[in-house]
Structure 1
């Protein structure tokens, strides 16, 4: 099997911390998920994660007005400049201090960052038209100016519409007005008057008013007005004194019952202000009258960030406490997007038999169903009252079984999305593992409290039997795909093979050297893989009950030193074993994960390590570093464990509401940093992807990961202009190959649609096979998006006719492309079938109408035409009345 798995997507986490960001067209939302960025396409209902990652959690995102440059900055001030359409990291840069605010100017020529109490304005790496200035080389970061004036952390930066001025808001209770370049007669202005830190500051659409919002719920409107006396007359001023200055003309207050304002956003074109509060409410107001339009409670905890798209129709909210992400359309009062990840760490996962769904379970008692194509959670089950420990599908894929610490095993109908059966034991137990008969008739569960295996009938829900034999807690269960045996692994250092459908339910014990952590059946039911606490992977024959092979994996899985560890990463005992293992679809490989940052892929036959995947390099997690930095070791202990919260300037930040010493659960509010670990792994049924449940979320690695920009065989003669010239000259094959080499989707589409229908078969026959996969994928995508239905189908037919034998011989190489083509054809078929079903009654009605004959000058003749309603229609003009209408003979001449 192929081993070139690449990171494809991150599911299970929709928002962690930082700011949300709409693209300039307002159709996509960018959300920081730990040290990565996920893009939610709100129009096509899809999501994808950008392939690059930071070394710490992302704190700020900014996108230039053209939408082609993305700047992301982590908690340490290290930034990555990304070509957003290509999803490529262009440059790494460090601001050498944490960043609290980041904004591009509307012109796209500058961006401003807030570093502590300073504001730095930098030149954007390229001009808005994408060309470097004056023909110079690409200069990534050139600083324009540094602004000092605030006395505390800058919290917000907003630019004016003409990019000449920008506003800044800080914790020192003030906002300031700056100019990006020296302006004649302009002096930086301070707007003071708030009693708590200023969260947001904005210009109005005409730039004549300034609005400021502070944390205590005060909204001030500032105008540039003359100084007035007590009786309202203009004051007499000296010539040297400025006649006008910025003054407060309106004061408004949100009045949310002692709730603090946590975030705010303003849409200048429509004068809409939205504010999020610490009690989970948000309010929508119209300025300058401060009319309240709407209030809604969207979370149980505080709202961390809010933003508005360019048209002012959609509001995006992020709440980091529960990991919630919402997009609200305020005019129709409806949700465009409403997603939430697991509150606690995930425990288990499983693919549906068709590979279209991934089920995850977690300690928060929730079961989530994720769609692999869109990346969204489509349903959440909350019936369990405690942590869900295991999950398993029936073979047909319409029934899901889960076990929980609340003492129940539940069966879920994934067609109607309901819990239709609950299985319990005679005594109160906490179930830790579950296994399902392939026929879906029998379900087994193991517990850490009891040493017995409980067996129920799915049809009746009755307890059929309890298998006794283990002398320790049952850690793992697995049914053979053939359905005749079940294998169980226990902490008593044995694995037992049970024949539960035989007359005597005896078990064959397999003795191991350490506690069993996980067992897995090979798809052909002839072999099992066992992971033990001493870091050994052993493979056993089911029929012979003998060990066939073994792998010492302690050195492979060990890695990652925690902040508090006294030993090096290679000597830490807690990370030297695999907690979960899974066979590949063909049974040739085993993938395994544990309490470390590595996922290992082994070849079963040779027992060799094929590949090692690093789950995360995020230093915000514990266990991602091999070596600790001695600078972080102080006299009081590791710096990462020292509580510096009590030294915060604000009382609200000094209050500590966290649980001491908790390493699982709410990962964003614990004193001890979350540890990187992999509690579950699973291969997709097709074998083209695998997913791993990690501390950061559900990581998906795929062989079908199509890069946005993958040029090859490029030279200086291949440009978009030469490609279009080849189209004009009629050299369509060369033009198509050049377009694929450039990997420009708009250019490929332009060349593709310019090829005449008569030349399609000739172009396809002469196409080199190296471009076949790209063309198949592109044609399938065009079939789904473009209206040229017959044209696209002729391309698909020509491709299959010309290259059918080659595709058949290399089915594994073109599996993903052929699936995409099949999906596109199936969609066309279903659309046409639905259209025909909708029109069948209209056609029946039209055909059932009588066809009257036209009477012309008293004689019955043939109707001249039939209109859309089936009635005869006479096309004679008024001047032709009384004239004889002849009927043409075979030669086309009129006859009497």
Structure 2
């Protein structure tokens, strides 16, 4: 007999909290499920939970541009760099505080993390950077007056836009640029939920919690950004000093001449940079093109509704916004034309993601553990999964091992396919906690008991409740059993200590 059990999959819940995102091919969705990560393959209709876990629940995740590395951070600020090729943790780091968002740069050389009012920019280990150390700190920005909520990289990877609760959006430079300083944009009256760069442009779209959308136009193009020659000269100087230290000090006169030549080269470079900046005299600044109030229409029904999530697809210029009442809007930018709106639930949408192709949109609702993938062009669900909103109380394996039936405190019964990992059907006929479920020997139906005083039989062929059993007096049932012939059913009372038999 073998006892070397191996983790296979995670069933019972599909989404808890945190970011959801599509893989680079657009065929799969990565969802944080507590302290684990589940990958839902939408093409093959299967789910796979990575054999990796954390001590706390994951909240912020992002995938590198080449799709080989996944960066996941839990609610305590513990970060894990995961290889999606080997499904193993290759690096660990602790930020010592909660991380609100993480994003890889478009070239995959850096990634940024938002911690409280601070933004950390680190070098990502890869063959592109030649850096294989874990989490090498490159820049730190502490200009925000309140907690940082979101960030986005420009297409060129030289600028970083950061939104915070102080209603401002700030622009930072990763490398030192001659014509760019830290720029702050204000104009919102609530905290920033999303900030997005346009494709191959420095124009920015900002979205706040009260439903305001602001369009910002940049005075420069990505090709107009000038890398500081002072930084380049310092790098040359350090490199030259290193080479001189490695060489033997044979001729001091030659060293002095080299220093003089280097100083003259440095002066020439500084003069060239100064003349160029004076001639151009053009720094990066932003001007507001317009402000739109997309939340006013939905707030007419309830003034308490807030914008809770936003995502932007650069190639197709599609802006998706989710609200606390379960409604989402799809707008076409920059004219802010409403394309589609839908109410997917009555609970808050905490995370929104768009596939790279721009045809699928994923939504996460943490209050009910719901994960949806919507194809907006055909207006159809690609995937609609929902776990138990409360804890599970019981489960049963089918005799052939193909299905698992679970019951929970929410009064719902769910049937899970063990091969695909998806929920096949949900039964909500019970009005109280499910206490027990059991399969029949012929594998055609299963029986459940509940504290609502009923025992129900469900058909696995037609997916319906074909029989409901009750006692002469109202009794809360705590357990249920079916005989080998599947003709007799017995249930035990919770308080009366009696057994009831039906045939």
Is contact 1:109–1:127 with CA below 8 Å preserved after alignment?
Answer: no
Judging changes above 3 Å, is the alpha-carbon distance between structure 1 residues 65 and 240 closer, same or farther for their aligned structure 2 residues? Answer: closer
Q: 1:451 Cα deviation (Å)?
A: 2.0
Question: 2:121 matched to which residue of 1?
Answer: 121
Q: 1:29 Cα deviation (Å)?
A: 0.7
CA distance in structure 1 between the partners assigned to 2:374 and 2:403 by the alignment = 26
Q: 1:180 Cα deviation (Å)?
A: 1.2
Is contact 2:81–2:90 with CA below 8 Å preserved after alignment?
Answer: yes
Judging changes above 3 Å, is the alpha-carbon distance between structure 1 residues 68 and 225 closer, same or farther for their aligned structure 2 residues? Answer: closer
CA distance in structure 2 between the partners assigned to 1:45 and 1:263 by the alignment = 26
Superimposed CA distance per residue, residues 26-50 of structure 1 (whole angstroms, 9 cap, x where no aligned partner): 1111111111111111111111111
Question: 1:59 matched to which residue of 2?
Answer: 59
Does residue 207 of structure 1 match 2:206? no
Q: 1:323 Cα deviation (Å)?
A: 0.6
Question: 1:417 matched to which residue of 2?
Answer: 463
CA distance in structure 1 between the partners assigned to 2:218 and 2:436 by the alignment = 64
Question: 1:250 matched to which residue of 2?
Answer: 290
CA distance in structure 2 between the partners assigned to 1:239 and 1:50 by the alignment = 56
Does residue 4 of structure 1 match 2:4? yes
Q: 1:207 Cα deviation (Å)?
A: 1.2
Aligned runs of 1:213-224 on 2, under 5 Å?
213-224=207-218
Question: 2:369 matched to which residue of 1?
Answer: 323
Instruction: Give the secondary structure class of the aligned counterpart of 1:191.
Output: strand
Judging changes above 3 Å, is the alpha-carbon distance between structure 1 residues 245 and 90 closer, same or farther for their aligned structure 2 residues? Answer: closer
Question: 2:162 matched to which residue of 1?
Answer: 168
Give the superposed CA RMSD.
1.6
Is contact 1:326–1:339 with CA below 8 Å preserved after alignment?
Answer: yes
CA distance in structure 2 between the partners assigned to 1:247 and 1:127 by the alignment = 39
Aligned runs of 1:280-291 on 2, under 5 Å?
280-291=326-337
Is contact 1:392–1:435 with CA below 8 Å preserved after alignment?
Answer: yes
Aligned runs of 1:259-658 on 2, under 5 Å?
259-457=305-503
Q: 1:206 Cα deviation (Å)?
A: 3.3
Q: 1:209 Cα deviation (Å)?
A: 2.0
Higher helix share: 1
Does residue 181 of structure 1 match 2:221? no
Higher strand share: 2
CA distance in structure 1 between the partners assigned to 2:127 and 2:178 by the alignment = 26
CA distance in structure 1 between the partners assigned to 2:459 and 2:413 by the alignment = 13
Judging changes above 3 Å, is the alpha-carbon distance between structure 1 residues 181 and 403 closer, same or farther for their aligned structure 2 residues? Answer: same
Rg (Cα) greater in structure? 1
Superimposed CA distance per residue, residues 248-286 of structure 1 (whole angstroms, 9 cap, x where no aligned partner): 111111122132100100111001000000111000000
Is contact 2:21–2:31 with CA below 8 Å preserved after alignment?
Answer: yes
Gaps of 5+ in 1: 227-237, 458-896
Q: 1:243 Cα deviation (Å)?
A: 7.6
Aligned runs of 1:743-892 on 2, under 5 Å?
none
Question: 1:76 matched to which residue of 2?
Answer: 76
Superimposed CA distance per residue, residues 614-671 of structure 1 (whole angstroms, 9 cap, x where no aligned partner): xxxxxxxxxxxxxxxxxxxxxxxxxxxxxxxxxxxxxxxxxxxxxxxxxxxxxxxxxx
Question: 2:243 matched to which residue of 1?
Answer: none
Aligned runs of 1:646-725 on 2, under 5 Å?
none
Is contact 1:203–1:211 with CA below 8 Å preserved after alignment?
Answer: yes
CA distance in structure 2 between the partners assigned to 1:123 and 1:336 by the alignment = 36
Q: 1:423 Cα deviation (Å)?
A: 0.7
Superimposed CA distance per residue, residues 381-410 of structure 1 (whole angstroms, 9 cap, x where no aligned partner): 111111111111111111111111111111
Q: 1:208 Cα deviation (Å)?
A: 4.2
CA distance in structure 1 between the partners assigned to 2:284 and 2:495 by the alignment = 78
Q: 1:245 Cα deviation (Å)?
A: 2.9
Question: 2:144 matched to which residue of 1?
Answer: 150
CA distance in structure 1 between the partners assigned to 2:106 and 2:282 by the alignment = 30
Judging changes above 3 Å, is the alpha-carbon distance between structure 1 residues 244 and 118 closer, same or farther for their aligned structure 2 residues? Answer: closer
Is contact 2:355–2:361 with CA below 8 Å preserved after alignment?
Answer: yes
Question: 1:671 matched to which residue of 2?
Answer: none
Superimposed CA distance per residue, residues 721-750 of structure 1 (whole angstroms, 9 cap, x where no aligned partner): xxxxxxxxxxxxxxxxxxxxxxxxxxxxxx
Instruction: Give the secondary structure class of the aligned counterpart of 1:38.
Output: strand
Superimposed CA distance per residue, residues 346-389 of structure 1 (whole angstroms, 9 cap, x where no aligned partner): 11111111101000011111110000011000100111111111
TM-score (norm 1): 0.48
Q: 1:425 Cα deviation (Å)?
A: 0.4
CA distance in structure 1 between the partners assigned to 2:284 and 2:468 by the alignment = 75
CA distance in structure 1 between the partners assigned to 2:284 and 2:110 by the alignment = 29
Question: 1:487 matched to which residue of 2?
Answer: none
CA distance in structure 2 between the partners assigned to 1:245 and 1:52 by the alignment = 44
CA distance in structure 2 between the partners assigned to 1:244 and 1:370 by the alignment = 55
Judging changes above 3 Å, is the alpha-carbon distance between structure 1 residues 94 and 173 closer, same or farther for their aligned structure 2 residues? Answer: same
CA distance in structure 2 between the partners assigned to 1:204 and 1:244 by the alignment = 16
CA distance in structure 2 between the partners assigned to 1:451 and 1:179 by the alignment = 72
Question: 2:235 matched to which residue of 1?
Answer: none
CA distance in structure 2 between the partners assigned to 1:217 and 1:242 by the alignment = 33
Pick 1 or 2: higher relative contact order, CA cutoff 8 A, min separation 6.
Answer: 2
Instruction: Give the secondary structure class of the aligned counterpart of 2:82.
Output: strand
Superimposed CA distance per residue, residues 412-431 of structure 1 (whole angstroms, 9 cap, x where no aligned partner): 11000011111110000011
Is contact 2:117–2:148 with CA below 8 Å preserved after alignment?
Answer: yes
Is contact 2:179–2:282 with CA below 8 Å preserved after alignment?
Answer: no
Q: 1:13 Cα deviation (Å)?
A: 1.1
Q: 1:60 Cα deviation (Å)?
A: 0.6
CA distance in structure 2 between the partners assigned to 1:167 and 1:442 by the alignment = 67
Is contact 1:108–1:127 with CA below 8 Å preserved after alignment?
Answer: no
Q: 1:89 Cα deviation (Å)?
A: 1.1
Q: 1:143 Cα deviation (Å)?
A: 0.8
Judging changes above 3 Å, is the alpha-carbon distance between structure 1 residues 162 and 208 closer, same or farther for their aligned structure 2 residues? Answer: closer
Q: Between Structure 1 and Structure 2, how many residues are aligned?
A: 440
Superimposed CA distance per residue, residues 290-321 of structure 1 (whole angstroms, 9 cap, x where no aligned partner): 11011111121110010111111111100111
| Deviating more after overlay: 443-452 vs 270-279 | 443-452
